[in-house]
């Protein structure tokens, strides 16, 4: 196997035996073959679309498949074997794309041996490739995985965008062509542009479905009734579960990236959505154990479970792990959570892990509603600087850098955040500036879109460019949705982003040079050095 898609990749270079995440070599190979088959499917579908035909549902399948291969989503080899067969089936139903089709258009997953041989061939091919081109292909495919994830979330709420669906296929097809570095850079930047579009689409889907978020204080204490813990990012799963648990005597808690759900009127209206439990995904093995009740894993963020709580973990959607119970959807998209609810009733209430109150729901609408106060505070000098500290949390012990950085920030600074990185500092009690919380949590990783809208509004209010605002970017990454968010920021012209805790293993020295020279990207140093650079004279 070879996988280098996340921040925790072995030795910062690539996992070659078993993933640090727990992904086995067999699953990694199947994921590679699935992506390969999707590339062939994309070539054929794009050619057919040009002629006015094609399979309009293929984009949705591509999105789901890309999402399934994202870090910590699906560890189950059987699910990938099925997906490969389905991809080949969709591809083979499309007319050939011409006389010189790439092999990915015609290769057949005829047997497990053929699939295993293809997986080995894919790893060997990347070893022989030009490092800069391979790096750009990786960057593009990982960005596309982010698009796949976000477009899937929007699609389950009934929101789709044709350009987004077709770009996923264009990007995949591009990786089969013999393109120059400049041409590949063009695709990577386009990926960022489409990333902005899909983030906006998901923002519309979430607010259209559950209302405009409000700045909300969320408790973290455990209640006295049995509970269900919901983790991942899928608000629809949470909404459906809340409907089905109403009046059952079972409470619902959010974990990790589900915290922002408490800000949406359509979700917070349920009084049995009682609070947030635990921290971010890397700590789930201890937290799920202590929760005592069942856990619903709705999207990525699954860590291979311990035996002590394995029977209480339910996966749904694209999440998979051999041996765990899976709740699928009926053909009309409905999910029946009754087994999970009955399971909860047999369980003890959660052990208390309270960390005080948390504030969330600081999306673009509620923050822009107090824009006058924010602009006034900047003008009066009460707010000297904003620090965008969005992104991911992870297992790597060096991530305590973000806690130390947040603690060391002067009291006249505001942290703008989204994603699970915030768990490193959202319970530090950093207070407020004239009623404006010092940690403005816009929401999930996808809600980085809100941060962009807020920054653009500030730029307009002060009549300056986005890079001339008193904003510094100290972003933490882990998986491929964060790669897409980074590309989205670059496509909007944001410069001088500090990225940590380690730079991506898939970025070659040549491509890193491009990123440094054109965008001013750099890695973290010490808290003291970075603070001096980002908050000069603090
Ligand atoms: Fe946490 Fe990072 Fe949200 Fe993941 S913010 S690890 O990309 O999707 O989560
Ligand atoms: Fe390694 Fe990350 Fe890939 Fe898992 S997802 S195999 S940890 S690079």
Between strands 313-316 and 325-327, the pairing is parallel
Give distance in angstroms: CA of 39 to centre of ligand 2.
Answer: 21
Give distance in angstroms: CA of 481 to centre of ligand 2.
Answer: 14
Q: Is the CB of 392 under 6 A from ligand 1?
A: yes
Binding-site annotation, residues for [4Fe-4S] cluster: 3, 6, 15, 21
Q: Is the CB of 445 under 6 A from ligand 1?
A: yes
How far is it, in rounded angstroms, from Cα 46 to Cα 50? 6
* Ligand 2 atom showing the smallest separation from residue 4 Cα: 8
- pLDDT on residue 537: 83
Would you tell me how many other CB atoms lie within 10 Å of the CB of residue 332? 5
How far is it, in rounded angstroms, from Cα 217 to Cα 284? 22
* Ligand 2 atom showing the smallest separation from residue 71 Cα: 5
Q: What is the pTM of this model?
A: 0.98
CB 289 within 8 A of CB 275: no
* Ligand 2 atom showing the smallest separation from residue 22 Cα: 4
Atom 6 of ligand 2 has which residue's CA nearest to it?
A: 19
How far is it, in rounded angstroms, from Cα 367 to Cα 338? 38
Atom 3 of ligand 2 has which residue's CA nearest to it?
A: 3
- Please, what's the b/e burial string for 341-379 (b: 16 or more CB within 10 A of its CB; e: otherwise)? bebbeebebbeebebebbbbbbbbbbbbeeeebbeebbe
Give a three-class secondary structure readout of 478-495. Answer: CCHHHHHHHHHHHHCCCC
Burial (Cβ within 10 Å: 0-12, 13-18, ≥19) of residue 406: buried
Give distance in angstroms: CA of 416 to centre of ligand 2.
Answer: 28
Give distance in angstroms: CA of 32 to centre of ligand 1.
Answer: 22
CB under 8 A, 24+ apart: contacts of 113-117 = 115/29, 115/30, 115/33, 115/81, 115/84, 116/29
Binding-site annotation, residues: 3, 6, 15, 21, 233, 257, 301, 392, 420, 445, 479, 481
Query: Which two tokens mark 220?
Result: 């973290």
Substitution site in 146, 300, 396 for ligand 1 pocket (most atoms within 8 Å of beta carbon): 300
Q: Is the CB of 482 under 6 A from ligand 1?
A: yes
Place of tokens 């477009």: 151
How far is it, in rounded angstroms, from Cα 27 to Cα 33? 10
Binding-site annotation, residues for hybrid [4Fe-2O-2S] cluster: 233, 257, 301, 392, 420, 445, 479, 481
- pLDDT on residue 486: 97
How far is it, in rounded angstroms, from Cα 478 to Cα 62? 22
CB within 8 A of 344, min separation 6: which ones? 226, 227, 228, 245, 250, 293, 294
- pLDDT on residue 12: 96
* Ligand 1 atom showing the smallest separation from residue 421 Cα: 5
Collapse the DSSP code of 445 into the 3-class scheme (helix H, G, I; strand E, B; otherwise coil) and give the result. Answer: helix
Q: Is the CB of 451 under 6 A from ligand 1?
A: no
Sheet containing 295-297, strands listed edge to edge, beginning at the edge strand earlier in sequence: 273-276, 251-254, 227-231, 295-297, 313-316, 325-327
Which tens digit of pLDDT belongs to each residue from 375-431? 999 999 999 999 999 999 999 999 999 999 999 999 999 999 999 999 999 999 999
Q: Is the CB of 442 under 6 A from ligand 1?
A: no
Give distance in angstroms: CA of 71 to centre of ligand 2.
Answer: 7
Which tens digit of pLDDT belongs to each residue from 190-218? 999 999 999 999 999 999 999 999 999 99
* Ligand 2 atom showing the smallest separation from residue 7 Cα: 2
Instruction: With CA atoms as reference, report the closest residue to 367 among 318, 307, 435.
Output: 435
Name residues contacting ligand 2 (CB within 6 A): 3-6, 8-9, 15, 19-21, 23, 28, 71
Residue ranges with strand state E in 369-446: 385-388, 413-417, 432-433, 436-437, 439-441
Substitution site in 23, 24, 30, 395 for ligand 2 pocket (most atoms within 8 Å of beta carbon): 23
Give distance in angstroms: CA of 114 to centre of ligand 1.
Answer: 34
Substitution site in 67, 301, 317, 420 for ligand 1 pocket (most atoms within 8 Å of beta carbon): 420
Give distance in angstroms: CA of 448 to centre of ligand 1.
Answer: 11
The region that residue 211 occupies, defined by phi over 0 for left and psi between -120 and 50 for alpha, beta otherwise, is left
Substitution site in 66, 195, 478 for ligand 1 pocket (most atoms within 8 Å of beta carbon): 478
Residue numbers in the chain where pLDDT is lower than 70: none
- pLDDT on residue 333: 85
The region that residue 130 occupies, defined by phi over 0 for left and psi between -120 and 50 for alpha, beta otherwise, is beta
* Ligand 2 atom showing the smallest separation from residue 5 Cα: 8
- pLDDT on residue 332: 86
């Amino acid at each position: 196997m070879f996988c280098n898609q996340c921040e925790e990749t072995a030795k910062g270079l690539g996992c070659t035996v078993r993933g640090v995440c727990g992904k086995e070599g067999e699953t990694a190979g199947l994921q590679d073959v699935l992506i390969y088959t999707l590339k062939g499917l994309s070539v054929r579908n794009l050619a057919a679309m040009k002629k006015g035909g094609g399979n309009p549902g293929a984009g949705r399948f591509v999105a789901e498949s890309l999402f399934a291969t994202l870090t910590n989503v699906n560890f189950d080899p059987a699910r990938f074997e099925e997906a490969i067969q389905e991809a080949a089936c969709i591809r083979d139903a499309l007319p050939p794309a011409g006389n010189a089709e790439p092999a990915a258009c015609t290769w057949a997953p005829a047997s497990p041996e053929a699939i295993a041989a293809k997986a080995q061939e894919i790893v060997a091919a990347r070893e022989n490739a030009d490092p800069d081109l391979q790096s750009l292909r990786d960057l593009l495919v990982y960005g596309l995985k982010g698009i796949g994830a976000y477009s899937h979330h929007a699609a389950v709420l009934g929101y789709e965008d044709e350009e987004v669906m077709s770009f996923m296929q264009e990007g995949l097809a591009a990786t089969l062509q013999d393109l120059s570095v400049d041409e590949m850079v063009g695709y990577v930047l386009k990926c960022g542009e489409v990333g902005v579009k899909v983030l906006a689409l998901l923002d519309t889907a979430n607010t259209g479905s559950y209302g405009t978020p409000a700045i909300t204080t969320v408790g973290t204490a455990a209640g006295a009734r049995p509970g269900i813990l919901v983790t991942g990012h899928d608000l629809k799963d949470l909404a459906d579960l809340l409907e089905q648990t109403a009046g059952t005597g079972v409470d619902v808690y959010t974990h990790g990236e589900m915290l922002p759900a408490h800000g949406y009127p359509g979700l917070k209206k349920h009084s049995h959505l009682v609070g947030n439990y635990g921290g971010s995904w890397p700590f789930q093995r201890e937290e799920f154990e202590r929760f005592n009740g069942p856990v619903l894993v709705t999207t990525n963020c699954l860590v291979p479970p311990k035996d002590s709580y394995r029977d209480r973990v339910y996966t749904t959607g694209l999440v998979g792990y051999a041996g765990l119970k899976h709740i699928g959807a009926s053909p009309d998209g409905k999910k029946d959570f009754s087994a999970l609810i009955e399971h909860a009733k047999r369980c003890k209430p959660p052990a208390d892990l309270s960390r005080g109150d948390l504030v969330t729901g600081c999306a673009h609408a509620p923050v822009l509603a107090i824009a006058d106060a924010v602009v006034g505070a900047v003008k009066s000098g009460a707010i000297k600087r904003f620090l965008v500290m969005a992104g991911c949390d992870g297992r790597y012990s060096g991530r305590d850098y973000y806690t130390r950085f947040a603690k060391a920030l002067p009291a006249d600074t505001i942290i703008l955040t989204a994603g699970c990185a915030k768990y490193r500092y959202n319970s530090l009690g950093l207070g407020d500036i004239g009623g404006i919380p010092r940690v403005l949590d816009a929401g999930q990783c996808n809600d980085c879109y809100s941060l962009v809208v807020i920054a653009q509004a500030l730029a307009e209010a002060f009549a300056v460019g986005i890079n001339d605002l008193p904003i510094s970017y100290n972003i933490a990454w882990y998986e491929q949705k964060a790669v897409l968010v980074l590309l989205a920021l670059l496509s909007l012209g944001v410069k001088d982003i500090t990225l940590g805790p380690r730079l991506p293993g898939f970025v070659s020295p040549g491509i890193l040079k491009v990123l440094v020279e054109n965008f001013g990207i750099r890695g973290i140093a010490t808290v003291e050095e970075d603070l001096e650079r980002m908050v000069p004279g603090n």
